């Protein structure tokens, strides 16, 4: 674009010059100075006549006087026209060349653009394919998500069903546990009833055994010696009669004691025995029962040793504790010959612990485990063949436990036995 303006500038300059050259009669010359106004000078006077602003030139043009002839002017004009034509041709050629160059550049640019468009189309195609693939994957993901949601819904439904099933199972388990507890309670009740039946059967057997054997033998002695005394009274000496009467008395006393124990035991089994706890001194019970068996103690040459506090106040059923002391002292005398019986009482918390020891025959260890059991208890004969029913120790256990105490026994066969029992020392709050 700049070259075009420069060429136009020079053409305009030449045309102006030719016009002035061919049509002017003035002598002188025109000076064209670039970027300075055109000035016309007088050759004779060399002074400036006028100043006229035409346009700027890059060089200074001097017109000599010999160029003012008409032929020369024509030649110059032709030359100038040829030059102008040549310049125009060169200029046109240059423009065409520039046009060709521009067209080539445009084509190259178009090719580049088309190449880029092709690349963009390929990229667009790839992007479209990618978008299609992404859409397919998105659709697949959506389908998978839908399936997962459906599975989640199914899982939730299944979990809900499982929860309902678990709740139902828990309810059934609880019902089963309750039924099991009821069955266990029934089983325990039946076991207790069974034990009671076993005890009742043993009690019945014990009762019939006592009636069949223990009551029969004393009456046999009473009847036999009474008949001998009655039939041979005049023939028998006084000493013999006294001996028979003593045997009859002892047999009757044994029967009385047996019936007394039997009746007390029967009342404990039927629950008709009264329980009336009271405050009393146990020393008096030991003293009274020792007096009852004093004859036997002297007859067997037994030493009595007592270790008792001055006052032993107990709160219990006096008759029951009296029966316990009587039975334990009677047993100690029964199984002791020329030995010693020790009676001891000492405090143990809110109880009195009483012990009755003897140096008699003792009890075998196997039998020691069953002496308080009605099912397995069996009386052994004393040192002089004294018989018994085995009810005494059973009554002792029931009466002691009835009053809130405990009873136990220690024994070494051939060395003696010791029976311990506890009695409340005061009334419970």
Q: Is the pLDDT of residue 148 over 90?
A: no
Res 59: pLDDT:
43
Quick one: which H or E segment has residue 349?
none
Q: How far is CA 126 from CA 120, 122, 136, 168, 209, in A?
A: 9, 6, 15, 60, 115
Q: Which segments of the chain belong to CATH 1.10.287.130?
A: 215-273
Q: Which CATH class is domain 215-273?
A: mainly alpha
Tokens linked to 324: 């316990």
Percent pLDDT > 70 in the chain is 73
* Tokens describing residue 277: 């706890």
Please tell me the predicted confidence (pLDDT) of residue 17. Answer: 52
Q: Tell me which residue has tokens 């709740």.
A: 167
Instruction: Return the minimum-mean-pLDDT range out of 76-80, 106-110, 380-384.
Output: 380-384
Query: Can you tell me the distance from the alpha carbon of 309 to that of 316, in angstroms, rounded to the nearest whole number?
Result: 18
- CATH C-level class of 275-429: alpha beta
pLDDT of residue 126: 83
Using CA atoms, how far residue 298 sits from 239, 292, 341, 386, in Å, is 21, 12, 12, 16
Contact 321, 285 (CB under 8 A): yes
Residues of the chain with CATH 3.30.565.10: 275-429
Reply yes or no on whether the pLDDT at 13 is more than 70.
no
Segment (H or E) for 120: helix 70-209
Q: 192 pLDDT band (50/70/90 cuts)? A: confident
C-alpha span between 396 and 323 (Å, rounded): 7
289 contact partners, CB below 8 Å, separation of at least 6: 322, 325, 326, 329
């Amino acid at each position: 674009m700049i070259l075009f303006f420069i060429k136009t500038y020079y053409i305009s300059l030449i045309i102006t010059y030719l016009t002035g050259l061919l049509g002017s009669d003035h002598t002188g010359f025109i000076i064209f100075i670039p970027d300075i106004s055109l000035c016309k000078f007088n050759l004779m006077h060399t002074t400036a006549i006028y100043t006229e602003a035409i346009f700027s030139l890059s060089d200074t043009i001097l017109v000599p006087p010999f160029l003012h002839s008409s032929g020369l002017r024509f030649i110059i004009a032709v030359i100038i026209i040829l030059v102008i034509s040549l310049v125009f041709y060169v200029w046109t050629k240059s423009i065409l060349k520039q046009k060709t160059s521009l067209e080539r550049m445009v084509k190259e640019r178009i090719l580049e653009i088309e190449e880029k468009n092709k690349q963009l189309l390929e990229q667009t195609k790839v992007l479209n394919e990618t978008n299609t693939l992404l859409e397919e994957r998105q659709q697949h993901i959506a389908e998978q998500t839908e399936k997962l949601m459906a599975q989640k819904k199914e899982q939730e439904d299944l979990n809900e069903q499982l929860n309902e099933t678990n709740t139902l199972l828990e309810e059934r388990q609880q019902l089963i546990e309750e039924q099991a507890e009821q069955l266990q309670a029934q089983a325990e009740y039946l076991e207790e009833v069974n034990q009671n039946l076993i005890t009742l059967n043993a009690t019945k057997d014990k009762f019939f055994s006592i009636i069949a054997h223990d009551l029969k033998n004393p009456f046999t002695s009473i009847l036999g010696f009474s008949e001998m005394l009655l039939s041979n009274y005049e023939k028998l000496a006084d000493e013999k009669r006294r001996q028979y009467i003593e045997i009859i008395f002892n047999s009757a006393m044994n029967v009385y004691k047996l019936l007394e124990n039997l009746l007390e035991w029967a009342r404990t089994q039927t629950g008709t025995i009264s329980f009336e706890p009271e405050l009393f001194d146990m020393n008096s019970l030991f003293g009274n029962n020792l007096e009852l068996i004093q004859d036997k103690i002297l007859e067997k040459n037994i030493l009595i040793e007592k270790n008792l506090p001055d006052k032993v106040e107990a709160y219990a059923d006096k008759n029951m504790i009296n029966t316990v002391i009587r039975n334990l002292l009677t047993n100690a005398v029964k199984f002791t010959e020329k030995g010693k019986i020790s009676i001891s009482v000492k405090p143990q918390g809110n109880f009195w612990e009483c012990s009755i020891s003897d140096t008699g025959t003792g009890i075998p260890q196997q039998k020691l485990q069953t002496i308080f059991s009605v099912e397995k208890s069996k009386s052994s004969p004393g040192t002089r063949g004294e018989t018994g029913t085995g009810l005494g120790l059973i009554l002792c256990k029931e009466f002691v436990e009835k009053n809130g105490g405990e009873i136990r026994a220690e024994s070494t066969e051939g060395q003696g036995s010791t029976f311990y029992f506890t009695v409340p020392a005061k009334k419970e709050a």
